[in-house]
Amino acid sequence: MNLFQGHKAIAVPQNVTAWDIDPYSKEVLLNPETFFSALRERGPFVYLNKYKMLACGRYKETKEVFSDHKRFVSSRGVGIQDFKLEKPWRPPSLVLEVDPPEHTKNRRFLTRALSPNKISQLKDFFKDCADKLIDELLQKKEIDGISDLAEIFPTRVFPEAVGLKKIDKETLLGYGAMVFNALGPDNDFRKDAMAKGLSVLEKINKQCLEENIDADGLAKEIYRSTAENSEEDQLAGMLVRSLLSAGIDTTVSAIGNLLWCFAENPEQFQLVKDDKSLVGNAVEESLRLTSPVKAFCRTSAIDTEVSGVVIEEGTKILCVLGSANTDPEVWENPYKYDVTRRTIGHLALGVGVHNCVGQTLARAEITALASSLTGLVKVIKLAGKATWKPNNAMRSLASLPIILET
């Protein structure tokens, strides 16, 4: 067997187009829409010559591969490295990178901690923090929607909600950038994130220890639950780390992308201001359109077939969620931000057993901020050009100059 970039190098399957595109190139990462359209046009799957693996971007096939955990597993890594064939650089996530029955057991511990009742108790706290932050920012003539808002709000409220005593914004953001860039090939983005992120890994691991957790935070619930139901000493700390991995960068990106949607579409922002029942839909439509998690991989556990394409065991498949979420076969006028659109079925937060375990927490944070924006801000104006940030797995902004008017 030939290994390439840590996974099995496959030949071009019959009836599949071979493509020289590099989905991890800076050009594609910064401007993915052209790539999305070309990917869908080439068929249900394409063969990536550069990585000797498959990619899918149509909604039907992406959803099938992404949700069928028996045929297409996560336990061999959701990046391009195959954990069965090559030792991962870090212990795999106990939720994102395991499959049932282990996944079922581990996820149960997190869902207890993140129960609807627990999240409901945090909503007033999130809204109060959001109102306070927006009031502060309204005193400024111009802000950067990313560094002044999108990065600030989650790194303030998430650590307190989880119960992390001493952790700073830079540590959380550096760790998140490392985790998601590490899912791609060994390109400059991965190398840079790893160089910066490895220095914070020890801080993260230490912070997740029980002695560094507040007694009334969500993390303490994880420790209580695992103590009652598991004999694995380090399980709780690793689950808290998994929550951190998925809970910061994705929310920062989602908030920044929502701000961009509001600033680029003032008429849609006004619709939400006029009808507050649209706040939740405005959030979901932003998730669909911008897909903060742009792409994850699955690995074929068996020889199988999807849409007439024969897929051999060990095949890495790049599931391009951003493309599936803008598939015109499913979404009319897919690149239009429409807060009245019926968004049920988008894949931004996953699907099947591996749907995002922290999505209720993330939605509560984003919705609180969206409510504060639509309640306290009259107009959001662009004050300059939005700058996107290249990341091997995420779709997020580096900078968003805006003016908040009241």
CATH number of the domain to which 229 belongs: 1.10.630.10
Please, what is the average pLDDT of the chain? 91
CA angle at residue 45 from 336 to 8, to 5 degrees?
130
Cα separation of 68 and 225, whole Å?
A: 28
- pLDDT score recorded for residue 207: 84
Residue entry with tokens 């993140």 = 114
The parts of the chain modelled with pLDDT lower than 50 are none
- pLDDT score recorded for residue 229: 67
- pLDDT score recorded for residue 232: 65
Burial of 267 (0-12, 13-18, 19+ CB in 10 A): exposed
- pLDDT score recorded for residue 246: 73
First to last CA, the chain: 63
- pLDDT score recorded for residue 215: 81
Single-letter amino acid code for the residue at 10 = I
Domain span including residue 120: 3-405
DSSP 10: P
Contact 57, 73 (CB under 8 A): no
* Number of domains making up the chain: 1
- pLDDT score recorded for residue 231: 60
- pLDDT score recorded for residue 147: 96
Give me the sheet containing 53-56, strands edge to edge. Answer: 17-19, 46-48, 53-56, 316-320, 295-300, 72-73
- pLDDT score recorded for residue 42: 97
- pLDDT score recorded for residue 169: 86
Q: Cβ of 165: how many Cβ atoms within 10 Å?
A: 12
**pTM summary value:** 0.94
Cα separation of 246 and 236, whole Å?
A: 16
CA angle at residue 405 from 400 to 406, to 5 degrees?
145
Residue entry with tokens 């988008």 = 346
Would you state the structure tokens that stand for residue 10, as one six-digit string? 């496959």
Q: Cβ of 199: how many Cβ atoms within 10 Å?
A: 13
